[in-house]
């Protein structure tokens, strides 16, 4: 069974992790929240920390729930980032400003765990006694406190009314009824907040609708169309000008997100490319891959797989973040109007 269909052996929940000055520029085309590639990179870095600390846990997937965020921007018709003023150069001239986007976050991180085999022995800490599991969960939380998440610094937990900051290491039940009951309890603890899930289905559906009007429509047209509100003018029954947009009611908060990288070159051996980060790791030139995501309340998640993301590497050079969210049937009924894509001529 591949990672997509595998049930977790356990869960690690780190509630209300406060992050200061995380990277808000998730790609050359998007901003407002760190990329899922940053969270997957954090998961892999944490996995190496666990191995160094002799904690036999395997991190397989990660889910992100955002409870609060504050992007460091100047509000207005054109939003700009708060930038630092660097010291002057040697000759006294003003140093160049490198645009950096920062955001403060309050996150709950959920990790899918797998069993670890060491010297022929299977370790499953998430099925040990409660005191040991709680101690291991706090040890991991301490490790996280010394790391960075999406380039941001992790701050100490700040308890408050209705805010649970105690991490937990949970064994996943074998029975489906017990899984459902446990997940219902967990998702209530994650409120208020919003979980980021993947909606590749919306992108494909919108592309099909655009091609009914324009056979030359591309995936980029569909991606841009879903990333904005397309307002068009019309007239009502009293011949007054009205403006309407093509977002159906109840469509949720749909956002463009980067989901990985696609190869632009062959895979070069370590040391073959000059000025690479290190001379031992194979190197490949890549470009960004984009898709559509959606922020939804945790109470709308039906199973833990809806929340979790994992990474896949394909032989054709595609490195992609994948999510197991499956929309409910009634959500599929909210169709977007079949308007042609917006262009310079229609604007």
Residues 183 and 217 in one domain: no
Domain boundary among 163, 192, 221: 192
Element (H, E) at 67: strand 58-71
- Domain match, 216 and 286 both: yes
> What is the spatial distance between Cα 29 and Cα 26, in angstroms, rounded to a whole number?
8
Residues 17 and 143 in one domain: yes
> Alpha-carbon distance 328 to 138, whole Å?
36
Same domain (yes/no): 188, 204: no
- Tell which of 138, 167, 192 closes a domain: 192
Q: How many domains does the chain have?
A: 2
186 and 210 share a domain? no
Is 31 in the same domain as 68?
yes
How far apart CA 4 and CA 300 sit, in angstroms, is 20
- Answer yes or no: do 145 and 186 share one domain: yes
Return d(Cα 132, Cα 219) in angstroms, integer. Answer: 50
Same domain, 187 and 216: no
Q: How far apart are the C-alpha atoms of 26 and 43, rounded to whole Å?
A: 17
For residue 91, is it within any domain? no
Residue 179 near residue 172 (C-beta atoms within 8 A): yes
In a domain, 36, yes or no: yes
Cα 160 → chain centroid: 26
Residue 346 maps to a domain: no
Quote the pLDDT of residue 344: 37
Domain-located, residue 4: no
Q: Take residue 268 and report the two structure tokens written for it.
A: 């070069």
Q: Which structural domain, as residue segments, surrounds residue 124?
A: 10-75+97-192
Tens-digit pLDDT string for the chain (347 aa) = 467 777 888 899 999 999 999 999 888 888 889 999 999 999 999 999 999 998 888 999 999 999 998 888 887 777 787 877 777 778 877 777 777 888 999 999 999 998 776 655 555 677 677 788 899 999 999 999 999 999 999 998 888 787 888 999 998 888 889 999 999 999 999 999 999 999 999 899 889 988 988 888 899 999 998 888 888 888 888 888 988 887 766 666 889 999 999 999 988 998 899 888 888 888 999 999 999 999 999 999 999 999 999 999 888 889 999 998 988 765 554 454 444 444 433 33
Residue 269 lies in a domain: yes
Q: How crowded is residue 271: how many other Cβ atoms within 10 Å of its Cβ? A: 13
Which of helix, strand or coil describes residue 46?
Answer: helix
- Residues 173 and 249 reside in one and the same domain: no
Do 244 and 143 sit in the same domain of this protein?
no
214 lies in a domain? yes
Residue 81 lies in a domain: no
Give the pLDDT of residue 130. Answer: 79
Is there a single domain that holds both residue 224 and residue 137?
A: no
* Final residue of a structural domain among 140, 174, 192: 192
Both 135 and 66 in one domain: the answer is yes
* pLDDT for res 346: 38
pTM of structure = 0.86
Residue 115 lies in a domain: yes
């Amino acid at each position: 069974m591949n990672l997509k269909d595998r049930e977790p052996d356990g869960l690690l929940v780190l509630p209300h992790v406060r992050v200061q000055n995380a990277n808000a520029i998730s790609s050359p085309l998007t901003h407002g929240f760190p990329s899922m590639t940053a969270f997957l990179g954090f998961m892999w870095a944490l996995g190496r920390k666990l191995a160094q600390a002799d904690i036999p846990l395997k991190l397989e997937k990660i889910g992100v729930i955002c409870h609060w965020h504050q992007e460091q921007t100047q509000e207005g018709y054109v939003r700009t980032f708060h930038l630092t003023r660097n010291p002057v150069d040697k000759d006294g001239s003003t140093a160049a400003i490198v645009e950096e986007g920062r955001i403060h976050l309050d996150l709950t991180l959920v990790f899918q765990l797998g069993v670890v085999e060491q010297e022929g022995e299977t370790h499953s800490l998430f099925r040990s006694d409660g005191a040991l599991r709680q101690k291991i969960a706090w040890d991991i939380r301490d490790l996280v406190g010394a790391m960075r998440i999406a380039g941001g610094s992790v701050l100490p937990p700040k308890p408050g009314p209705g805010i649970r900051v105690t991490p937990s290491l949970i064994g996943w039940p074998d029975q489906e009824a017990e899984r459902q009951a446990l997940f219902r309890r967990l998702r209530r603890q994650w409120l208020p907040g919003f979980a980021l899930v993947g909606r590749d289905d919306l992108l494909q559906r919108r592309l099909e609708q655009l091609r009914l009007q324009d056979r030359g429509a591309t995936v980029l047209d569909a991606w841009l169309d879903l990333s904005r509100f397309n307002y068009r003018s019309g007239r009502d029954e009293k011949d007054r000008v009205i403006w309407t947009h093509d977002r159906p009611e109840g469509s949720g908060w749909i956002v463009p997100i980067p989901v990985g990288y696609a190869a632009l070159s062959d895979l070069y051996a370590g040391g073959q490319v000059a000025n690479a980060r290190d001379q031992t790791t194979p190197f490949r030139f890549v470009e960004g891959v984009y898709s559509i995501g959606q922020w939804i309340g945790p109470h709308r998640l039906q199973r833990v797989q809806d929340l979790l993301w994992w990474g896949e590497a394909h032989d054709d050079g595609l490195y992609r973040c994948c999510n197991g969210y499956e929309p409910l049937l009634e959500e599929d009924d909210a169709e977007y109007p079949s308007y042609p894509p917006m262009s310079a001529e229609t604007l």
